[in-house]
A = this chain, B = another copy of it.
C-alpha cells in the first residue's frame, strides 16, 4: 500500500473513533511502525487535518477537516442495507419508513454503479414475526428520549401489580423477543428497565430531565461498565 492511500486510510480510521485512540493501536491497524505513524499524523496535520494528540490520551480527529470522506465502498453499502433491512423487518413501521427514506437519500448521492449495488444488494434478513410490544407506541418513546422529556407510565411490575411512575427515559433496547426501555425511575431513585409490553399506558410530560442528568446513557454505561460503543 502506497503512502498516499495509507494517509487516506488513516483519516478514515480516525473518523471511526470517537474516543481518543493510541498511536500504537492505529499503527497496528495500518501495519506500520509507531514512528511512521507519528510521521503520517504530522503530514496530515500539515495538510490541515485537525488531529488532536495528547500524551497519555491518544488521538482524536476533530470534525470539519476540509476533506470530505471518500465515497462509500461496496461493503459499506452492504452493511448499511443489511442493517436497514433488519430495522425494517424487526422494528416498527415508523422506523421502517425512516430506514427506507435514509437509504433513498444515500442512494441519491451514490454514483450509478454503487446505486445499482445498493438496489440489488443480496444480503437478506430473516423475517419472522415481530416481538410483541403491547400498545406502546415506541416512536413516541423515541421522541421523548430525543427531547429529554420525562414520561408518566402505568407499568405492571414483575408480580403483575400495576404501578404508576414518572421516569426519565434515555435508551431503548431492541432484543430478539422484546423491547426494553431503560430509564431513571423517580419512584426508586435508580436506573430501571421496563419491558415495552408491560407498559399499560404512557403520557409524555413537558418536564425536561434536569440539566445535570442529561447524559443518563453515559452515566448508565459507567455504572454498568458497558464498553461497546457501537
Where the two chains meet, the residues of A that have a C-beta atom closer than 8 Å to any C-beta of B are 2-5, 7-8, 12, 15-16, 18, 43, 47-48, 50, 62-80, 82-89, 91, 94-96, 98-112, 114-115, 117, 119-120, 122-128, 139, 142, 145-146, 170-176, 182, 217, 228, 230
Contacts and interface: CB of A to CB of B under 8 A. Distances in A.
Contacts of A96: 79, 230
A82 B12 contact: no
A12 to B, nearest CB: 6
Given A75-B142, A76-B101, A78-B98, 16 more contacts: A15-B104, A48-B73, A63-B107, A64-B114, A66-B68, A68-B109, A70-B105, A71-B105, A72-B105, A73-B98, A80-B80, A80-B102, A82-B83, A100-B230, A122-B172, A126-B175
Top 7 A-B residue pairs of the complex, sorted by shortest distance between their CB atoms: A83-B83, A64-B111, A76-B102, A4-B4, A79-B99, A15-B104, A79-B98
A179 to B, nearest CB: 10
Copy number of this protein in the oligomer?
2
A190 B228 CA distance: 43
A29 to B, nearest CB: 10
B86 A86 contact: yes
Contacts of A5: 43, 47
Nearest to A217: B122
A124 B171 contact: yes
A109 to B, nearest CB: 5
Contact of A76 (B8, B72, B99): B99
A123 B146 CA distance: 11
A122 B79 CA distance: 20
Nearest to A62: B111
Nearest to A75: B98
A114 to B, nearest CB: 7
B102 A79 contact: yes
Given A15-B107, A172-B122, A65 B71 contact: yes
A146 B170 CA distance: 40
